[in-house]
A and B are shown apart, each in its own frame.
Chain A
Amino acid sequence: MMSEDEKKELLASGHRMCAGCGEGTAMRTILNEAGPNSIATVATGCLEVTTTAFPQTAWEIPLIHAAFENAASVAAGIESALKQMDKKGETNILSFAGDGGTFDIGFQALSGMFERKHNVTHICLDNEAYMNTGIQRCSSTPYGASTTTSPKGKYSIGEDRPKKPIARIASAHDIPYAATACIGYINDLKKKVNKALEADGPAFLHVFAPCPTGWRHGSSDTIELAKLAVETGVFVLWEAEDGNICDLNVTYKPKERKPVEEYLKKQRRFAHLTEEHIEKIQKEVDEKCEEYGF
């Protein structure tokens, strides 16, 4: 790991992300940790459109944006080519996608990349909906959230499916390293970035990144909400090596879990939930945290 003062800012200022965008924090941390000897692919999404509008680019490392569902397969092509031409060396190959480009449309390419054991780290920036196209639901959208394609209504609670456990699915491919991380816990994220990059083979990082625009909270609430998600047990920070999901390492256990209501009430996407709904969510979180050992 480089010393903090040696690290160069690899996501340049002037990008067009919303004020308070969780992805901004995530990307600065991840790229600065990865360092300049890196090549990245990025799927279509908020990150891509806010950083690459011709003739400006916020990327200080080589980047290719190809399409929405294939950040991982473009990265696989890069990795194979560099290896074949004996040019890989220590170069990190990073594949960035949002939750859409990872959980849903990007799932096939991701699974293929994992299965073929490419030395690529896929980083999912999860803001729990297809934000770039206007806040539509994704399989990452949590139960009870109102999105533009699963809106709250007279007959609707909003999203009525639970969040897909993407990091466990990734790990189940028996990849060397899979982890969840959160922008509220920067040191934990940095450690996991390094472990992912050092893994000999595919690695997966599921990075939780709140979105003021899509979740309807204040731009200054982003980090607080990121922390609350973890402190309430809604999002659990863990890592698993070589597919050992049964023996995963929970990297942060809140001493005393806060009630989920504290997390939910700060976001207007959950404002319509009744006491009954919140109790249901609390119960599910309680059960899940018990499984994770806290």
Chain B
Amino acid sequence: MGEQKGLTIQGNMATALGAKLSRPDVIPAYPITPSTLFPEKISEYIADGELDASMIRVESEHSAMSACIGASAVGARTCTASASQGIALMHEMLFIAAGMRLPIVMAVGNRAMSAPINIWADHQDTMASRDSGWMQFYAEKNQEGLDLMILAFRIAEDERVLLPAMVGIDGFVLTHTVEGVQAPAQEDVDEFLPPYDPPHGKLDPEEPMTFGSLGTPEYYQELKYDQTKAMDNTPEIIDEIFDEFEEKFGRNYNRITPYRCEDADIILLTMGSMTGTARAAVDEMREEGEKVGLAKLTVFRPFPSDLLKEIAGDVHGLAVVDRNISPGFGGAVFAECAGAFINEKKSPLMKNFIVGLGGREIFKKNFREMYEKTKKAVETGKVEKPVEWINMDEDVMR
């Protein structure tokens, strides 16, 4: 195996490097903070001859995803990057990409949705697309951003999968923050990720096909079921490919990664960069004798209900930390956790904590607060407020 190269780079550079190592053919992209440095870096790679690819400087994110669809349909390996309003603008095309079973990969600089406009870290943008049929991966650190890009291509293009995938890195906290990463060697990535050859069909005058048929009521439901089944079958395939990655590159990934959960009474469930802070808080609380654990969600779609039940089935309290909000209910991850447990005889009491919206800081003391509140619920056996917002500034409230 070739040597991995140690680099100290920002998150956008890490995802761009992960993309570059995956040898994409076509990259249609439109800049939006905080993911702008991805297309900038890619265009630098191309300008200096380090990457043999075609970048389409499209005039909007909607056209970015449209061009991705066209390119992927003729058999090109395709990726793009966006965030927030850009993801929202291409929203209809996300459903179309998934419905056409095109293995497009998108790096997302997770950012809040307007209004009010805000460019900082938040998961609302990708959560708003959770029904689109895309797989969703979330990185805790820049290393994960780099690795998950390569993994996303490999998983998406697997002939048993053939679904598009998003890789989220938190805006500014990861996208613009410099961290040490190990970059795999090109020849090793080439071995791990063979060239893309669409097994299901492509646009080619030698063998004409029609993509994007009109699906009348006689066929639509079965076509959607077939697509959904493909997503439902991915967990095993993802696990398989994660294992292969670990064997080759020495880094472990799981759909949910438990930390100090074996004898935990209460588990904190996090996603994205906040996991690092949560882990430090968990270690501190453990020193104090608290029986607390941490579960890191890396794959949100398909939602890992199986692993969640394994890891948290026996605990008394589950604190689900959401960096997004669905007004009128609560956080998206909370809803899915609740859904995973609803028919189980044994399930933890669950509290939902809304944190870090629009780049709001999340401190170790916030995780302590979340832990204490969950502990109180467990002790009383009652969850008085299922959804609570953390680290609010009362002084600015109306």
Contact = CB atoms under 8 A, between A and B. Distances in A.
Q: Do chains A and B touch in the complex (CB under 8 A)?
A: yes
Interface string A57-84: 1011111111101100111111111111
A53 interface: yes
Interface in B59-88: 59-60, 62-63, 66-76, 78
B70 A41 contact: yes
Contact of A87 (B63, B74, B96): B74
Contacts of A25: none
Given A37-B205, A81-B76, A65 B213 contact: yes
A26 interface: no
A48 B215 CA distance: 12
A111 B57 CA distance: 13
User: Which of A74, A81, A83 has the most chain B CB within a 10 Å cutoff?
Assistant: A81
Contact of A81 (B58, B66, B78, B213): B78
B207 to A, nearest CB: 8
Contacts, number: 155
Given A73-B67, A116-B56, A64 B73 contact: yes
A108 B205 contact: no
Interface string B13-51: 000000000000110100000000000000000000000
User: Which of B53, B70, B96, B204 has the most chain A CB within a 10 Å cutoff?
Assistant: B70
Contacts of B215: 54
A67 B211 CA distance: 12
B93 interface: yes
Given A62-B203, A62-B205, A76 B67 contact: yes
B380 interface: no
A29 to B, nearest CB: 19
Contacts of A66: 66, 69-70, 93, 96, 212
A2 interface: no
A38 B205 contact: yes
Nearest to A118: B56
A112 interface: yes
Binding site of A, secondary structure by majority: helix, strand, loop or mixed?
A: mixed
A78 B66 CA distance: 10
A237 B210 CA distance: 32
Given A67-B93, A108-B59, A80 B54 contact: yes
Contacts of A37: 205
Given A39-B203, A54-B216, A62 B70 contact: no
Nearest to B24: A84
Contacts of A84: 25-26, 53-54, 76
B227 to A, nearest CB: 14
A77 B97 CA distance: 13
Contact of A55 (B56, B71, B212, B219): B219
Interface of A: 36-39, 41, 48-49, 52-55, 57, 59-67, 69-70, 73-85, 87, 91, 108-109, 111-112, 115-116
Given A70-B62, A80-B28, A116-B56, 11 more contacts: A52-B213, A54-B214, A63-B212, A64-B210, A65-B210, A70-B63, A73-B58, A80-B26, A80-B67, A109-B66, A111-B59
What are the nearest 7 A-B pairs in CB distance?
A77-B70, A77-B67, A112-B59, A65-B212, A81-B76, A81-B71, A73-B63
15 contacts: A52-B213, A53-B216, A57-B210, A62-B203, A63-B209, A64-B203, A65-B210, A67-B93, A70-B62, A73-B58, A73-B67, A76-B63, A81-B54, A84-B53, A84-B76
